[in-house]
Amino acid sequence: MEKSVQVTSPAFNAVSWLAFIGGIVVYLIGLWRAEMQLNEKGYYFAVLVLGLFAAISLQKTVRDRMEDIPTTPIYFGACLLAFIVAVLLLAVGLWNAELLLSEKGFYGLAFFLSLFGAIAVQKNVRDAVNDKGEDSILSMPASQEHD
């Protein structure tokens, strides 16, 4: 029995990219304009980068498991742990920050919008690659491969 992949609509692809890029840009603009020390800005930037990487890795690992692609339990656990740590670091940082409640909400919403966008974009890219029958988005056409 052949697995069918439902191709996402161009509208969903566009909204996914908008959420991903928009969330990151808004978050970074907020950091740029914030009256925080540079080390605080670095903390929130690092949390965003960790969260994005962890969300994409976790989504890929879950999808691999659903498609019976071998993944190790250790890697799955590491992805899940990194995702949880990123969310907890943001929550603890915002809880203890001397920011207005509206500013805390701003960072939280921009962070989670970015994570959603990253997961959706990764899913769309993988679906597009699977639809074309390629192994990887980075794979080279057979005519360009070298020994």
pLDDT at 141 over 50: no
| Residue 58 structure tokens | 């976790």
Count CB-CB contacts under 10 A for residue 32.
Answer: 8
pLDDT in tens, 48-101: 999 999 999 999 999 999 889 999 999 999 999 999 999 999 999 999 999 899
At position 145, the amino acid (one-letter code) is E
Instruction: Say what the pLDDT of residue 8 is.
Output: 79
Q: What percent of the chain lies above the pLDDT cut of 70? A: 84
Task: Give the helix ranges, DSSP H, for 34-146.
Answer: 38-66, 73-96, 101-132
Structural domain spans, the chain:
11-125
- Does 19 have pLDDT greater than 70? yes
The pLDDT tens digits of the residues spanning 106-117 come to 999 999 999 999
Question: What secondary structure letter does DSSP report for 5?
Answer: -
Three-class SS of residue 2?
coil
**At which residue do the structure tokens 């009256």 appear?**
35
Amino acid at 46: A
Given a contact cutoff of 8 angstroms between Cβ atoms, the answer to whether 138 and 16 are in contact is no
| Tokens (6 digits) for 72 | 């190790």
Decide if pLDDT at 18 tops 90.
yes
Statement: the pTM of the whole predicted model exceeds 0.95: no
Q: What are the phi and psi torsion angles at 71 (to 5°)?
A: -140, 150
The string of pLDDT tens digits covering residues 90-109 is 999 999 999 899 999 999 99
